[in-house]
Amino acid sequence: MNNKQLRKVRIKEIIRDKVISCQDDLLKDLRDEGFEVTQATLSRDLKKMKITKIADTDNTYRYIIPEETHAQQSHDGHGYLGLTFSGHMAVIQTVAGYASPLAVLMDNNPSEVFVGTIAGRDTIFVVLNENDNDREKFKVYLDELLYGN
Amino acid sequence: MNNKQLRKVRIKEIIRDKVISCQDDLLKDLRDEGFEVTQATLSRDLKKMKITKIADTDNTYRYIIPEETHAQQSHDGHGYLGLTFSGHMAVIQTVAGYASPLAVLMDNNPSEVFVGTIAGRDTIFVVLNENDNDREKFKVYLDELLYGN
DNA sequence: AATAAGAATGAATTTTTATGCATTTTGGTG
DNA sequence: CACCAAAATGCATAAAAATTCATTCTTATT
């Protein structure tokens, strides 16, 4: 898990959590956390992640992840909806019917970060590697799997 | 129906129909159609309409209407999904359950462009004024009602 | 370990977008 | 119709975002 991918995961989190109204805002936050980057890199990151800004209700701009801004949960091609952790388990929620295909995809792309998956209709249980129990690492893995790069 | 509203309706149509990668592209198209505006005005229009650009698959930018870019139909607070005309009738599709409230809203905001509404669960029939049967005008009316301005 | 190819990044710059301010247009009222 | 207030718009410019080009990391391979 390299720095770029960590940074991308973090960018998403920041943008979900707080109002970011320009790339410089984001830049400051990332720098505070030790990510040494420039606006140029952020521009490229955001482009790849399809993150963009849009007018907020108060007439200022804010960055959003368009896929996630809707009342009805939307999902990417994999039906992925959300991820939670508990102990050494990760629980993935999907659109009904999508759990198995996604679990298969994961099985076909093994990683030392998890040791196995089992899927229901809309939920996947993932057992993480107990030695190297790293949630960030799993997030990155999943992110790569779903969105590439 | 003033020029601004006509322009906004047209902007949406253009952005749905073709790849617009910057405001100047849009500006040219609008000018070709006789809308005399400047980039400054477009910036403001797009802000109000919550239209923004995002990376397309081919790594170029394109303007989109975020609400409309999803596999699962998303809807605004009114549940509005779509509009079709037939003769002097307009047919509005909504999310199930939203038809009545929207019809009520229309009834509470009467206009000479339509003479009555009747709502089912997810569909509204609207009878247009037969003298002044103007679909554009109705589109503008609905647009104003749903999105303001 | 040396080397080469590709990816990632930054500095500087260009391009694009947003906005402050002045002006014009639009609508309503007396 | 004259007048005012509010909305819309353009011009000029500031602010923000995207990109070019050069450089530095990574990674795979010998």
| Cβ proximity of A81 and A96 under 8 Å | no
Interface check for B57 against chain A (CB to CB < 8 A): the answer is no
CB A97: neighbour CB atoms within 10 A? 10
A79-134 tens-digit pLDDT: 788 887 776 778 888 776 677 667 777 776 667 788 777 777 677 888 877 666 57
Average pLDDT over residues B1-17: 81
Picking from B47, B67, B72, the nearest residue to A55 by CB comes out as: B47
Return the SS3 of A62: strand
> What pLDDT is attached to residue B3?
75
The letter for the amino acid at A142 is: L
> What pLDDT is attached to residue A70?
37
Quickly state the pLDDT bin for A140 (edges 50, 70, 90): confident
Quickly state the pLDDT bin for B74 (edges 50, 70, 90): very low
B55 Cα to chain A: minimum distance (Å): 6
A34-56 tens-digit pLDDT: 888 899 999 999 998 889 999 87
Interface check for B44 against chain A (CB to CB < 8 A): the answer is no
Per-residue flag: B73 CB under 7 A of strand C: no
Question: Over 80: is that where the pLDDT of B47 sits?
Answer: yes
Specify the range with the lowest mean pLDDT, choosing from A44-48, B75-79, B94-98: B75-79
Q: Which residues contact A116 (CB under 8 A, 6 or more apart)?
A: A126, A127
Higher per-residue pLDDT: B91 or B29: B29
Specify the range with the lowest mean pLDDT, choosing from A63-72, A132-141, B8-17: A63-72
Per-residue flag: B60 CB under 7 A of strand C: no
Q: CA–CA separation, B147 vs B132, rounded Å?
A: 24
Q: CA–CA separation, A19 vs A17, rounded Å?
A: 7
Question: Over 80: is that where the pLDDT of B87 sits?
Answer: no
A3-19 tens-digit pLDDT: 787 888 889 889 888 88
Residue contact B52–A52, C-beta within 8 A: yes
Q: CA–CA separation, B26 vs B32, rounded Å?
A: 10
Q: CA–CA separation, A56 vs A72, rounded Å?
A: 19
Per-residue flag: A7 CB under 7 A of strand C: yes
Quickly state the pLDDT bin for B72 (edges 50, 70, 90): very low
E strands in A3-102: 52-55, 61-64, 80-86, 89-94
Question: Over 90: is that where the pLDDT of B43 sits?
Answer: yes
> What pLDDT is attached to residue B9?
83
Question: Over 90: is that where the pLDDT of B134 sits?
Answer: no
> What pLDDT is attached to residue A141?
81
